[in-house]
């Protein structure tokens, strides 16, 4: 139940942060004019109108928001709001935002990085696949393995030597030197792993914590894979 309530708080805080970004705040937390100006005609509250300012003050305090009705840094930290999954370049951007103390930074609890060798422009890739007799809309899975780029429709598999794909990499990828998301808490990728398994590099204490918990709850199966730069890695399915 506690976790359920916390999830609600997280959703609400995220909405309030979105509002903040769009310029909404205390002035927009209001009630219909009738409730603020027309006294209640009968009942226990007869003659009263809603004391909006007083109500907002108490409400923001209870929620842990600031005077403008926005979640505070403390509040976001407590809610442990966000897990980010991204490519190495995304994760670098996230770490940079944390470094410069971007507003939502305290809410970022965990970062998962995916292995990435390169990215392709979608339009270019579609044309390229079409030239080889396959339609992009039919492709169910794309992967790289053992020096080949593979596109799979379920019935048909197209394999192209990676060397041939290099000229089609996005330009920014040609200057990228981070394959395994070195700044993530956990890095995951299936390159070089057996079918239905992924290689995992645990990089931080929180990465270790989350991974152990997933393992102990039976959400993942693990087995030792190989030594990688003298450190141990596990494979997960
Ligand atoms: S190779 Fe390209 S897409 Fe992949 S992480 Fe680097 S810059 Fe990003």
- Ligand 1 centroid–CA 173 distance in Å is 5
Pick the residue whose CA is nearest to atom 7 on ligand 1. 173
Q: What's the CA-to-centroid distance between 115 and ligand 1, angstroms?
A: 9
How many residues does this entry show for the chain? 237
What is the CA(118)–ligand 1 centre distance, in A?
5
Q: Is the pLDDT of residue 234 over 60?
A: no
Give residue 89's pLDDT.
94
Ligand 1 is surrounded, with C-beta below 6 A, by 87-89, 116, 118-119, 170, 172-173, 176
pLDDT digits (tens, 9 = 90+) for 75-112: 777 777 778 899 999 999 999 988 988 877 777 889 99
pLDDT at position 231? 47
Q: 42 alpha carbon to ligand 1 midpoint, in Å?
A: 66
Architecture, CATH, for domain 122-175: Roll (3.10)
Under DSSP, the state recorded for 40 is P
- 174: tokens are 């040609």
Cα-to-chain-centroid distance, residue 147: 30
List, by residue range, all CATH 3.10.450.750 domains of the chain: 122-175
Beta bridge partners of 14: none
Mean pLDDT, the chain, integer = 85
Ligand 1 atom nearest 117 alpha carbon: 1
Tell which atom from ligand 1 comes closest to the C-alpha of 173: 2
CATH number, domain 1-79, options 2.60.120.10, 1.10.599.10, 1.10.10.10, 1.10.3720.10: 1.10.599.10
Where does residue 198 fall: left (phi above 0), alpha (psi -120 to 50 degrees), or beta otherwise?
beta
What is the position in ligand 1's atom list of the atom closest to the CA of 87? 5
CATH 1.10.599.10 residue spans of the chain: 1-79
- The pLDDT confidence band at residue 178, using thresholds 50, 70 and 90, is very high
In DSSP terms, 143 is beta-bridged to 150
CA of 131 to the centre of ligand 1 (A): 25
Question: Is-contact 110 182, C-beta < 8 A?
Answer: no
**Is this structure's pTM higher than 0.75?**
no
């Amino acid at each position: 139940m506690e976790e359920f309530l916390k999830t609600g708080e997280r959703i609400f805080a995220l909405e309030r942060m979105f509002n903040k970004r769009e310029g909404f705040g205390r002035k927009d937390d209001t009630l219909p004019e009738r409730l603020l100006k027309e006294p209640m005609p009968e009942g226990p509250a007869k003659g009263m109108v809603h004391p909006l300012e007083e109500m907002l003050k108490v409400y923001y305090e209870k929620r842990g928001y600031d005077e403008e009705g926005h979640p505070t840094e403390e509040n976001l930290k407590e809610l442990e709001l966000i897990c980010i999954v991204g490519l190495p370049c995304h994760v670098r951007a996230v770490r940079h935002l944390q470094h410069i103390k971007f507003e939502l930074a305290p809410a970022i609890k965990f970062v998962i990085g995916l292995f990435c060798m390169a990215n392709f422009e979608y339009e270019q890739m579609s044309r390229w696949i079409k030239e080889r007799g396959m339609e992009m809309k039919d492709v169910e899975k794309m992967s790289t393995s053992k020096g080949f780029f593979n596109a799979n429709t379920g019935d048909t598999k197209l394999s192209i030597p990676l060397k041939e794909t290099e000229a089609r990499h996005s330009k920014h990828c040609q200057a990228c030197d981070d394959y395994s998301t070195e700044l993530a808490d956990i890095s995951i990728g299936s390159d070089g792993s057996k079918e239905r398994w992924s290689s995992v590099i645990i990089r931080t204490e929180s990465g270790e914590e989350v991974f152990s918990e997933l393992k102990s709850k039976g959400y993942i199966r693990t087995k030792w894979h190989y030594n990688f730069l003298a450190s141990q890695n596990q494979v997960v399915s």
